[in-house]
Amino acid sequence: MDLINALVAITNYVIIPATAYGAQLALGALGVTLIYSILRFSNFAHGDTMAFGTGIVILITWGFQAMGISLGPLPTALLALPFGIAITAALMLGTDKVVYQYYRKVRAAPVVMVMVSVGVMFVMNALTRFLIGVDQINFDDGARFVINARQWREMTGLSEPLTLRSTQVITVVTAIITVAALFWFLGKTRTGKSMRAFSDNEDLALLSGIDPNRVVAVTWIITGALATIAGTLYGLDKSFKAFTYFQLLLPIFASAIVGGIGNPVGAIAGGFVISFSEVGLTYAWKKVVTYLIPNWQPDGLVQLLSTDYKYAVSFTILILVLIFKPTGLFKGKIV
């Protein structure tokens, strides 16, 4: 019985939250990795793109709520999501026209492109703040739980509670649909194939008549969509705060590099590696330990790292990968 209780506690406090967080990180890392493989720079503005997209989704959600439109048990934000994606993608295309296009033309070094993305980051940051401010916003208006603690107890009779929040289920389902659509697009459609060709060998792709402007435009649209979805899911699951999204940049970069930057499968795997390490190392294991080792009451919380140091986990994994396997778990590119 204690063994089952221990498993339930692990599922409740580690596996479920880490899976949802991992899916959010994976979507974010996919955006970073796509920009990296097509435009060949690390996009520092990605966190603020996520914040901007989420801000738009929140505004539209409020609009729908004011009009009395809702999705029943599902959060209204899901209905607002396509509109948010459209606006964010339009902004991405505009940014590319006004800012990045010039640097592609002069073939600027990657590190200059990174610096340019810092400028874009400032502007996006300001736009988000103008739009929605800096305060914490909770915009989840759907049903809170799929399984709550009471239902679980009645269902199983176990003393250890387990809750499954609906935002966690929505996150995972949306992420699966998004990733499936993305891989279908990259693998089966003509545009997707030309994107992969462009990523593998730019000169060869240009020689075979692929239109680089089209590839770049599609990449920005997809990145805008991925950023908005990732940001909205994170915001639904936790809450929206512009600065938190900037801080997500580190775990997202770490996920992309751990998996092998430029490799979409790697980005997803990396997201889960980071999220499980982060949640696992900052969880207080006291409860599980008391179940597993009877007659022993540990003094502390049996927490390996305080939650304040969760960024240290991403960072340490990042450093280990850079030292031992700079191409990442799945062979990424190293330029």
Partner 1 sequence: MSTTRQPGESSAMRAPLFFAIMAVLILFEGFTSGWNSALGILNMGLLSAVMALGVNMQWGYAGLFNAGAMGFLALGGLAPVLISMPPTPGAFKAGGFGIMLAFFIAIVAVLAAIWIWRNVTGRLRGLAVTAVLIAGFFAYRWAFDPAVEAIEAINPSAQGNLGGLGLPTLISWPVGAILAAGAAWLVGKTALGLRSDYLAIATLGIAEILVAVLKNEQWLDRGVLNVNGIPRPWPVPYEIDLQNSAEFVAKAQSWGMDPQLASTITVKLAFLLLFVVVLCALIWLTQKALKSPWGRMMRAIRDNEISAAAMGKNVTRRHLQIFVLGSAVIGLAGAMMISLDGQMTPTSYNPLRYTFLILVMVIVGGSGNNWGSILGGVLIWYVWVKAGDWGPDIMAALASPFPDGGVKEHLIQSAPHMRMLVMGVILLGVLRFSPRGLLPEK
What is the token pair recorded at 254?
A: 């770490």
The answer to whether residue 334 forms part of the interface with partner 1 (CB under 8 A) is: yes
- Does position 311 interact with partner 1 (CB under 8 A)? The reply is yes
DSSP code, position 296:
-
293 near partner 1 (CB under 8 A): no
* Contacts to partner 1 from residues 191-230, by CB under 8 A: none
- Assess contact for 121 and 45: CB atoms under 8 A: yes
What's the closest the beta carbon of residue 70 comes to partner 1, in angstroms? 23
State the binding string over 61-90 for partner 1 (x if CB under 8 A, else -). ------------------------------
What is the Cα gyration radius of the chain?
21
Q: What is the DSSP string of 39-52?
A: H-S--TTHHHHHHH
Q: Tell which one of 257, 267, 268, 269 touches partner 1 (CB under 8 A).
A: 257
120 lies in the binding site for partner 1 (CB under 8 A): yes
Is 159 or 306 the residue whose CB approaches partner 1 more closely?
306
Contact flag: residue 49 with partner 1 (CB under 8 A): no
Taking the C-alpha atoms of residue 74 and residue 334, their distance in angstroms, rounded to an integer, is 42
List 249, 258, 273, 288, residue binding partner 1 (CB under 8 A): 249
Binding of residue 123 to partner 1 (CB under 8 A): yes
Q: Report the residue number, 19 or 125, with the smaller CB distance to partner 1.
A: 125
Could you tell me the two tokens for 280?
């696992």
**By CB under 8 A, which span of 82-90, 159-167, 171-179, 322-330 interacts with partner 1?**
322-330
Sign of the C-alpha dihedral computed for residues 125, 130, 134 and 135 taken in this order: negative
Distance CA 150, CA 316 (A): 39
Helix (H), strand (E) counts: the chain: 16, 2
Report the C-alpha gap between 24 and 203 in whole angstroms.
34
Q: What is the spatial distance between Cα 152 and Cα 331, in angstroms, rounded to a whole number?
A: 43
111 binds partner 1 (CB under 8 A): yes
Tell me if residue 38 falls in helix, strand or coil: helix
**Part of the chain binding partner 1 (CB under 8 A), chosen from 160-168, 173-181, 191-199, 243-251:** 243-251
| CB 30 to partner 1: min, Å | 17
Give the Cα separation of 71 and 110 in Å (integer). 44
Residues that bind partner 1 (CB under 8 A): 41-42, 44, 99, 102, 106, 108-112, 114-116, 118-127, 129-130, 133-134, 246-247, 249-250, 253-254, 257, 300, 304, 306, 308-309, 311-312, 314-315, 318-319, 322-323, 326, 334-335
